[in-house]
Amino acid sequence: MNKSDSNDTDYHPISCDSHDTFEIAVLHRTRVRLAWTEDGNLHTETLTPVDIETTNREEYLIARSDNGQTVRVRLDRVRSMQPL
């Protein structure tokens, strides 16, 4: 079996409490100030969460930026989320 066929990933599941916080933000479409790391860089942006999806056993927050762009953030890379 090669790497692309396996479900191996460096994803680390988040706590149930944290997951609940993301789900509530999606449910209420609460604008948040989200900080996350990606490719070794820290990103901070104001977003509106719209969904949570799972791909290859990794969970992602799907959100819209103020300019309408869709942003996909892996949940274990989120460093902070503050409601606005």
Q: Where are the domains of the chain?
A: 12-83
CATH of domain 12-83: 2.30.30.100
**What Cα–Cα distance (Å) separates residue 74 from each residue in 2, 12, 28, 54, 64?**
24, 10, 20, 9, 14
The rounded average pLDDT for each run of 10 residues, N- to C-terminus, in the chain (84 residues) is 56 96 97 97 98 96 97 98 96
Residues making up the chain, counted from first to last: 84
Q: What is the pLDDT of residue 44?
A: 98
The DSSP 8-state label assigned to residue 67 in this structure reads T
Specify the residue for token string 């989320």. 81
Q: Are strands 41-55 and 32-38 parallel, antiparallel or unpaired?
A: antiparallel
Report the C-alpha gap between 84 and 81 in whole angstroms: 10
